Amino acid sequence: MEDIERKRKSNLPNWLTAFRILCIPLVVVFLSLPEGRISSFLAALFMGMAFITDILDGYYARKYESVTTLGKLLDPLADKVLVLISMIMLIPLKRIPILIVIVIIARELAVTGFRSIAVSEGIVIQASRLGKYKTIFQAVAVLGLALHYEYLTIDFHIVGMSFLWAALVLTIWSGWEYFYKFSRIFYEK
């Protein structure tokens, strides 16, 4: 019985990641509906739930020492897909500048490429603290931009844009940091 309970707990992080992935189509659907407060709120609600599962799956993976290969693949992939698809969906709504989305997508592709090359050489380039801050700022920006309207006297579009500009700086900075680490490792090799 104890073994079954331990196994169930060790699978919890992967189930949370799966839930996050299932939220993505819902975000797309709500951002595709005619623009309005309700559809914007529901898109932001599912984004928020997905971002909370990201925090929880990391917590439970560490608590139950249940880091799996599947989790290592799906967790960062789910984060990137959720943020990038949300940003792309916000472009036709004129809530996010396309140039910022292009820069963020280019950085994500470049860093993924650097990390893939490094792994093929047996080198692991860990996620940096800066990269984690970038993810947090991108998540808050996307939530604010999805909400878009004023709620409780807070203009969420302005909040979202403020976090987006900070996220852009962190995106470029952390991308440069990965490039620097990558080039140093391969130069030394």
The pLDDT value given to residue 165:
97
pTM here is: 0.84
Work out whether the CA dihedral 23, 131, 126, 122 comes out positive or negative. positive
| pLDDT (average), residues 141-166 | 95
Q: How confident is the model at residue 5 (pLDDT cuts 50, 70, 90)?
A: low
The pLDDT value given to residue 189:
66
pLDDT over 90 at 172, yes or no: yes
In this structure, how many other beta carbons lie within 10 angstroms of the beta carbon of residue 4? 8
Least trusted range by pLDDT, from 65-69, 156-160, 178-182: 65-69
The ranges assigned to domains in the chain are 2-188
Which SS3 state, helix, strand or coil, does residue 60 take? helix
How far is residue 186 from each of residues 125, 172, 179, 183, measured CA to CA in Å? 12, 21, 11, 5
pLDDT over 90 at 131, yes or no: no
Q: How confident is the model at residue 10 (pLDDT cuts 50, 70, 90)?
A: low
Backbone angles phi, psi at 126, to 5 degrees: -70, 155
Alpha-carbon gap, residue 2 to 102, rounded angstroms:
49
Q: How confident is the model at residue 70 (pLDDT cuts 50, 70, 90)?
A: low
Structural tokens at position 22: 């299932």
How high is the mean pLDDT of the chain?
A: 86
The pLDDT value given to residue 9:
56
| pLDDT (average), residues 81-109 | 95
> What's domain 2-188's architecture?
Up-down Bundle (1.20)
Alpha-carbon gap, residue 95 to 159, rounded angstroms:
12
